[in-house]
Structure 1
C-alpha cells in the first residue's frame, strides 16, 4: 500500500471512530420524559436528564409549535437553561388548540437530538383546583357556601373568559358522619349554596366538596374538610 493510500485509510478510520463515539453520546444526552403539566390552564413543560449523568454544565433548549404547523419556534426564555422545566402558558393560551413541545441537551459541545411531547390540548388535560368551602351550623342544619377557583383562559379572540362559564361546572358535596365513619353524597348540581338537613344531634360531621366537569367526565381534587359538631 502506498503512503498516500495508507494516510487516506487512517483519515477514514479516524472519522468513523469519531462518529461512532459521538452518536452514543448524543443519545445518552437526549432528554427523557418530556411532557406537559397543566393546572388551572398554567401549562409547563417538564423533562428529565438523559441517560448520561446530569452535569452542572448541561444546558437545555426548548421549542414549541401549534398542531398542524410545520415550523418550530424557539422559547427564548428557555434557550440554554439549566432547569428541567419551562413555562409555556403564554405560548399555549388558546386552550382549545393542540400543541407540541420539545427539548434537547447540549454538553461540552455535543448536542443531543430533540425529544418531543405527545400532543397537548389544555382544555382537555388541565387539572383544576377544588372549590373553596365555608360551612356554618344553624339550628341543627349545615349551610355550605362554595367558591369556584378564580381561573380564566384566553379564547380565540384573545379575551379572558372564566373557566366556570366554559366548563359548566357541577359541584358535589359529601358529608361524613364521624361516629359511623360513613360518607354520603348530599348534593350534586350547579348551585353554590347548599343546605344539609336532618342531621343527628350531638354528632360530629365533616363536609368535603369537589368540582365535576361533565363534558370531560373529570373531577377536581377534594377540598379541605370542614368539621362541625351538631348540638
Structure 2
C-alpha cells in the first residue's frame, strides 16, 4: 500500500513511538482524506442552479403573462416552476406552469381573478438534483397595472359631423371584455383637420357611438381615440382614423354646366351626402 504522508503525518511520527509509524500514518491520512471529502461535500451542496432573471408580469387588456429568462450558466436540462401569492395568503403553485422550458411563458390570466387584489409571482429553476433560489416579481394589481390597448374604432362622415363606432379590443374571453368595459370611464378624442393640421380634443364619457358635431362640410378629418379609466393611466391611443364630412347642403341641387362648341349641357346632382369612411 503506497501512502504519501503529509506534514501532519511526519510530525506525528517524530512525536510518537517509531514502532507505531504505519498505524499512525494510516490513522492521520484517513482523517485528512475524510476531512477533504467532507469539505468537498459541503461545497458541492452549496452550489445551486442560477436563479431566473428578468422576471416580470406583462399585462395587456387584462391578459396577464409571466416572462423570465434562465440565469447565466443554467444547465440545459433545467425546467422552471411558477407560484403566485395573493395578498396575505400563502404561495400557491400555478397548475399549468410547473415544468416550463426556458423558452416558455406562464399565462396568469385565470389566476388573477380579483381585479383589485394585489398579487405577486415567483419562478424557480430545477433539475432532478438541484434547485435555484426563487426570483420574485414586483407587486401587481390587475385593474391598475394592465395596459389598456387601443379600442376598435370606425369613422364615417355625416354632413358637418363624424360618427365614431367604438368597441373594446378583441380579447381572449367574454370575461376579459366585461372587465375592460367595467374599467373604462371615458374617451379622449383628438380631431385633426388634414388640410392644415388644425386640431382639438374632446373628453367624452365612454359610449359605443360618438357623434362629433360642428365640423366643416366636405373636409377630411382624422380622429385618434384613447380610452381613459379613473384608476388606470396606462392607455395606448389608436392609429388615426380618417373620413370626409359630407358636402355643403343645398335645397335644390347644384347646377353644373359642361361647355362644348355647340350646346350647354346641364348636369344636376341631387342633394346627397358624399361620405368617405376610413379606418
**Structure 1 length as normaliser, TM-score?**
0.80
Q: Provide the rounded CA distance (Å) in 2 between the counterparts of 1:162 and 1:203.
A: 37
The CA distance in 2 between the partners of 1:98 and 1:13, in whole Å, is: 49
Are positions 1:170 and 2:191 aligned together?
no
Summarize the Cα distance change of 1:184–1:16 in structure 2 as closer, same or farther, 3 Å threshold.
farther
Aligned residue number for residue 51 of structure 1: 72
Provide the residue aligned with 1:76 in structure 2: 95
Q: How far is 1:50 from its partner? A: 0.5
Given the superposition, is the C-alpha separation of residues 11 and 178 from structure 1 closer, same or farther in structure 2, using an over 3 Å criterion? farther
Cα offset for 1:191? Answer: 3.6
Q: Distance in 2 between matches of 1:34 and 1:188?
A: 38
Cα shift at 1:161: 8.7
Equivalent of 1:39 in 60, 73, 94: 60
Aligned residues: 221
Give the aligned partner of residue 84 of structure 2. Answer: 64
Structure 1 residue 98, shift from structure 2 partner: 1.7
Query: What residue ranges of structure 2 are gaps of 5+ in the alignment?
Result: 1-8, 10-23, 248-279
Q: Does 1:229 align with 2:244?
A: yes
> Per-residue deviation at 1:222?
1.2
Q: Which has the higher strand share?
A: 1
Higher relative contact order (CA 8 A, sep 6+): 1
Q: Per-residue deviation at 1:187?
A: 4.1
For residues 1-231 of structure 1, the aligned pairs below 5 Å read: 1=9, 2=24, 3-20=26-43, 23=46, 25-26=48-49, 29-52=50-73, 56-70=76-90, 72-82=91-101, 83-107=103-127, 109-149=129-169, 162-163=178-179, 166-201=182-217, 203-216=219-232, 218-230=233-245, 231=247
1:86 is displaced (CA, Å) by 0.8
Gaps of at least 5 residues in structure 1 are: 155-159
Instruction: Provide the C-alpha distance between the structure 2 equivalents of 1:206 and 1:161, rounded to a whole number of angstroms.
Output: 27
Q: 1:5/1:200 Cα in 2 relative to 1: closer, same or farther (>3 Å)? A: farther
* Contact residue 174 and residue 183 of structure 1 kept, 8 A: yes
| Structure 1 SS opposite 2:148 | coil
Which of the two has higher C-alpha Rg? 2
TM-superposed deviation, 1:139:
1.7
Contact 1:67 1:98 in 2 (8 A): yes
